[in-house]
Amino acid sequence: MKTIRKFVFATSIAISSLFATEPLSVWIMPNGASPKEKLEQRLSIFTEKTGIPTEVQVLDWGEAWNRISTALETGNDLPDVLQLGTTWIPYFASRGEIKSLNEWLDKIDEKRFVSVSWNTTKIDSDSIVYSIPWFIDIRPVLGNKAILKRNNITRKDLSTYKGFVDVVKKINDKRESLEDGTKIRAYAFPGKSDWNIPHNFAPWIWSNGGDFITKDDNGKWHANILSEKTLVGIAKYLNFVLDSLVNPEALQTNTAQIVQQFNAGELALIVNTAEIVMQTRYNESEGGLANTKIGKDSIIVLPIPRGDEGSISFIGGSNLAIPSKNNRPEALDLLLFLTNDENQDAYTKQIGFLPTSKKVLANWAEDESYKILVEALETGKTYSAIPEWGDIEQKLVAMFSAVWDHLEIPALYSEEKLYQIFMDYTQEINKILDYPFTKAVTFAEFQDIWHKTLSIEEKTGPESTNPTDTEHIKNNLRIAPWIFALMVLLGFIVSFKRKK
């Protein structure tokens, strides 16, 4: 009997030693330049303190969802700690695939974190915490300080939507060029080729009191696309293209291409992640932008222009969680280590995103640029923390892509077509939310909202029935498809001849 006890004890010691020396794995996404190396620098401190080695695996955002979903569902090749986009938390939590952390809330200390981040750690209206906030992705207006200074543009000039529009017109009218002849444009944003589309629309919609979804009087979520305030926000954003303030060619680009243009000094203003601010403070050898055009011209950070309901920035970011099927107690130690104040300060400075700790943010706010960002956290907004959000976001990407598609050929522009797009996707989103079909705004009501927002005056009297104007519009609509078909045919012929 004693022999058996000795054997069991020796075996348990051996197993414990084996787990103690087995590396703790962390899955992250490409956060900033050299993400693996930068996290490994921080993890070396953890290993020095605990004697437990670590390993970092970087998943591209394009593959991350499938890799993480498969691992969490099957339990195969599981990491010990993993990074999840804030909107992913409710989905995996609802499936029971990431651990509840309520047992360790005293160690986590909720009061350390800004509320806008802490709200992303759980499912809407639920008290169970499934993750710890790691860093914040807030998207302000970023300006090229040199261009704005040359045009005598101040912060106040850009503080409201009308002021922002006036500034865009002013810079475009100046018709400046870089030394190589590249034209400088005031403002641009990516179009249908980008998964960030809802993020780009969000601040303009939220700042005018709208939202993508909302709750009814019974607390049931439903689509909110066709509400007046949401339509006002959408119209104001589309107006940049409709009024030729933004070159329609930009709609063929993605976020990386727009940022590249900004970094090259080709754009005066963009709305984007704040990581660029930190990157301008590092040299190229460190993955920074100090030696680029934007590094030399310098960046100015500005709040989102005020709309009818204020200035509301888009806020995203990432949290850290532990898979439910992971049974290593050391995983919690690693999770707490990565989210402590010291590591948040050091790591976020390396990747350029904001920390989630109030104490660390207070220190960052001593910097003029980051003071603007920290203040914007107080009014900024995240997407609704519901399990269905991932599917809804895909519908929003499809909806706004359809809108940009429609705007590509001005002669085919139709308010009735826009209304139909919004109506169709309202129904699609309601299906996801299992919300019954309800009567939405009529086309006449939609037009009224649209025209008021875009200051389109209704014609009255003889001009409203001018047969020449009506016939001209009809002719445009009649011949536009043939022109488009001819362009496609010519493109095919040219391509065919090249192959020959």
- pLDDT tens-digit map of 156-203: 999 999 999 999 999 999 999 999 999 999 999 999 878 899 999 999
> What pLDDT score does 411 carry?
79
> What pLDDT score does 83 carry?
98
pLDDT tier for residue 286 given thresholds of 50, 70 and 90: confident
Largest CA distance in the chain: 108
What is the rounded average pLDDT of the residues 310-323?
98
Inter-helix orientation angle 35-50/330-338, to 10°: 120
What is the rounded average pLDDT of the residues 409-416?
86
**pLDDT at residue 447 above 50?**
yes
For 263-282, how does the pLDDT look when each residue is reduced to its tens digit (9 = 90+)? 999 999 999 999 999 999 98
> What pLDDT score does 34 carry?
84
145 conformational bin, left if phi > 0, alpha if psi -120 to 50, beta if neither: alpha
**pLDDT at residue 490 above 90?**
no
> What pLDDT score does 486 carry?
53
What is the rounded average pLDDT of the residues 293-309?
97
> What pLDDT score does 280 carry?
93
What is the rounded average pLDDT of the residues 284-301?
93
Parallel, antiparallel, or unpaired for β 132-139 and 354-355? antiparallel
**Rounded Cα gap, residues 94 and 241, in angstroms:** 40
> What pLDDT score does 499 carry?
45
**Rounded Cα gap, residues 425 and 403, in angstroms:** 11
> What pLDDT score does 491 carry?
52
Parallel, antiparallel, or unpaired for β 267-271 and 54-58? unpaired
Contacts of 196 (CB under 8 A, 6+ apart): 190, 255
- Distant-in-sequence contacts of 57-66, Cβ < 8 A, 24+ apart: 57/25, 57/26, 57/27, 57/28, 58/28, 58/29, 58/30, 59/27, 59/28, 59/29, 60/29, 60/30, 61/29, 61/30, 64/29, 65/390
**Rounded Cα gap, residues 354 and 368, in angstroms:** 14
For 224-242, how does the pLDDT look when each residue is reduced to its tens digit (9 = 90+)? 999 999 999 999 999 999 9
pLDDT tier for residue 481 given thresholds of 50, 70 and 90: low
**pLDDT at residue 19 above 60?**
no
> What pLDDT score does 457 carry?
57
Structure tokens, 253: 């680009």
Q: What is the pTM of this model?
A: 0.87
For 368-377, how does the pLDDT look when each residue is reduced to its tens digit (9 = 90+)? 999 999 999 9
Structure tokens, 432: 């996801």
**pLDDT at residue 39 above 90?**
yes
> What pLDDT score does 466 carry?
39
Q: What is the CA radius of gyration of the chain?
A: 26
**pLDDT at residue 496 above 90?**
no
